[in-house]
Amino acid sequence: METPKVFESEYRFCLILWEHEPIPSGELVRLCNEQLGWKQSTTYTVIKRLAQRGILKNEKSVVRSLVSKEEVQAAEVDELMEKKFAGSLPSFLAAFARHRKISSQELEEVQTMIDQFRKENCHE
């Protein structure tokens, strides 16, 4: 199943949900007011919209996600790579590295991920 699109304001809402779930809807309204400046009606509208799109469920006034933060982030990266880099990981990484200083530790972490991926997926 393809991960549903989560727009920026919805993502900020989801960050609150993921941190506190499962959470009573009234408590979620309070947190959205404090952290996002949203009115009660705005929060309930977003809950309803995200429930309709299969991103969360609101059952007996308790809200919980149906899609993880990692799934949403991966879908965003996939969309960005397709739109801006024609799906090319090397092009994406080159553009990223060109405008950002990468520490030795970050390079080591990336190399470890590449080594692990190669070990799990390549049958040499």
Q: Which CATH number fits domain 8-69: 3.40.50.2300, 1.10.10.10, 3.40.50.300, 3.40.640.10?
A: 1.10.10.10
**pLDDT confidence bin for 96, thresholds 50/70/90:** confident
CA distance 27 to 46: 15
Q: Work out the mean pLDDT of the chain and round it to a whole number.
A: 92
pLDDT at 124 over 70: no
pLDDT at 123 over 80: no
Residue ranges per domain, the chain? 8-69, 88-124
Query: How many Cα atoms sit within 13 Å of 22 on the Cβ side?
Result: 10
For residue 47, the model assigns a pLDDT of: 98
What is the three-class DSSP state of 70? helix
**pLDDT confidence bin for 97, thresholds 50/70/90:** confident
Phi and psi torsions of 107, nearest 5°:
-60, -40
pLDDT digit string, tens, across residues 3-45: 888 999 999 999 999 999 999 999 999 999 999 999 999 999 9
Give mean pLDDT, residues 44-53.
Answer: 97
| Kind and range of the H or E run holding 31 | helix 25-36
pLDDT at 98 over 90: no
